[in-house]
Amino acid sequence: ALTMVPAHTACALLSLAPLLVLGVPPIWTQPEQVHLSYPGVPGSMLVTWTTFNKTESMVEYGLLGSRLFDMSTKGDVALFVDSGVEKRKMFIHRVTLTGLKPAATYVYHCGSDVGWSDMFSFTALNDSSSFSPRFAFYGDLGNENPQSLARLQKETQLGMYDVILHIGELPDNARIGDVFMTQIQSIAAYVPYMTCPGNHEATYNFSNYRNRFSMPGQTESLWYSWNLGSAHIISLSTEVYFYLEFGLELLFNQYEWLKKDLEEANKPENRAVRPWIITMGHRPMYCSDDDQDDCTKFHSYVRLGRNDTKPPAPGLEDLFYRCGVDLELWAHEHTYERLWPVYGDKVCNGSKDQPYVNPKAPVHIITGSAGCREKTDRFNPNPKEWSAFRSTDYGYTRMQLVNATHLYLEQVSDDQYGKVIDSIWVVKERHGFSAWS
Ligand SMILES: *[C@@H]1O[C@H](CO)[C@@H](O)[C@H](O)[C@H]1NC(C)=O
Ligand SMILES: *[C@@H]1O[C@H](CO)[C@@H](O)[C@H](O)[C@H]1NC(C)=O
Ligand SMILES: *[C@@H]1O[C@H](CO)[C@@H](O)[C@H](O)[C@H]1NC(C)=O
Ligand SMILES: *[C@@H]1O[C@H](CO)[C@@H](O)[C@H](O)[C@H]1NC(C)=O
Ligand SMILES: *[C@@H]1O[C@H](CO)[C@@H](O)[C@H](O)[C@H]1NC(C)=O
Ligand SMILES: *[C@@H]1O[C@H](CO)[C@@H](O)[C@H](O)[C@H]1NC(C)=O
């Protein structure tokens, strides 16, 4: 994964982008870049979109099959001025729909009397803890080579997923961001599209990311958690370990927040209802790529923290292990890699024959090969013993959280026309720290 785009490439992109994008002048009041997110409150859904002139923010909606648009909800609009040279202005609209019927399908459009979006639909999430949600997740789906996009668009519109998890790496400037957000509308306007920040978002202190997305909580989408089915899902920023110039306090604030959130999720009454704890963050703790990234080093910052800061910064591996995190999803490396259960650089199989049945440490999946301009990375020919399966095919991962004990994962290869190239069942009769022994 290329951490930094060389200045000349970035400039070339900038100067090309207007030609590509502005072939047709925008209609300033027309909504674009429509996307959904789940605010974490049962029966709710949040619609976010962009206009280039200030307008009202309205969603008109109705149950599929009944009268169209018989309900409407107003929201807020915020001015976002891109910090780049163009200082482009845009208006980000946010409307939260509440009181939705679980598992019911709604048809909606958004905008105002001076411009409406196309019509989209979504299914309100089933809020039962015995619901078995189906996810697709990936990172590093770039706008210049969104290799897996068509397949994901079709599968999403076919209703194969309840939620999409985007594990970081969205484009880093506002104009390219517009193209990207327009491309993902065909996915993100139909299912909640839950994100975490990646390194490309770092430009201007993640301002594009913070302004364009609307995740639960009060941290501008940087870190947050939510519940679905039998899972508690935590999204975090690994970037706080790398962009210290934006404030070391972000790293410590996130760490303290993670500790509190995990303690809460581990209260017996909470863990009984949501036994699975799943984390997602952009840069992995482990990987066997040959690109010198953080995860290729024994002393990964994300895993073990940093000792060159004052005070030293704690890493995440111990916290996640002590709090019994079951599954950790990562991206950044432009490859797919599944690990045997691992802690402290050591394999902790459930048993030799059934490593994922009652594993003795968290399970890590790295899925950063959805498509990106840097092409996929290469692997180190001699991986450590925790590396279980690797692929450089473009693709993405599917997950079904079947019930309190069973979780299924599979990897789809786009290069092989949608073939499933890897799959596992993670089976846990117990969750939490005590499950490791
Ligand atoms: C709409 O936005 C464009 C671009 O920012 C600006 O030039 C124009 O004056 C705006 N029009 C109105 C009516 O606000
Ligand atoms: C939600 O999911 C549960 C578990 O699968 C199911 O029993 C229930 O009927 C679903 N709720 C609705 C409204 O479909
Ligand atoms: C970067 O953004 C975060 C989140 O809004 C903020 O807390 C922090 O102070 C900002 N850092 C700088 C250097 O502006
Ligand atoms: C500090 O961190 C570096 C790697 O970032 C590591 O090589 C070194 O052993 C650490 N020192 C101590 C005292 O932990
Ligand atoms: C973990 O399990 C896998 C699959 O059975 C096996 O190939 C591997 O050798 C095991 N590793 C250790 C350290 O036991
Ligand atoms: C959970 O799902 C698995 C796989 O479908 C099934 O074998 C098991 O019986 C289920 N457990 C319960 C309690 O329903």
- Residue 89 in contact with ligand 1 by CB distance below 6 A: yes
- Listed in order, the ranges of the chain carrying CATH 3.60.21.10 are 134-436
- Residue 53 in contact with ligand 1 by CB distance below 6 A: yes
- Listed in order, the ranges of the chain carrying CATH 2.60.40.380 are 31-123
Q: pLDDT tens, 177-196?
A: 888 889 899 999 999 999 99
**What radius of gyration, in Å, describes the C-alpha atoms of the chain?**
21
* Confidence category of residue 169, pLDDT binned at 50, 70, 90: confident
Match domain 134-436 to its CATH number in 3.60.21.10, 2.30.42.10, 2.160.20.60, 1.10.443.10: 3.60.21.10
Q: What is the mean pLDDT of residues 4-26?
A: 45
**What's the pTM value of the predicted model, to 2 decimals?**
0.93
Q: 123, 126, 230, 273: which to mutate for ligand 2, most atoms within 8 A of CB?
A: 126
- Looking at the predicted structure, is the pLDDT value of residue 265 above 90? yes
CATH number of 31-123: 2.60.40.380
- Looking at the predicted structure, is the pLDDT value of residue 5 above 70? no
- Looking at the predicted structure, is the pLDDT value of residue 8 above 70? no
Q: Of the ligands numbered here, which is closest to the C-alpha atom of 405?
A: 6
Query: By alpha-carbon position, which residue is closest to atom 14 of ligand 2?
Result: 103
Q: 83, 201, 203, 205: which to mutate for ligand 3, most atoms within 8 A of CB?
A: 205
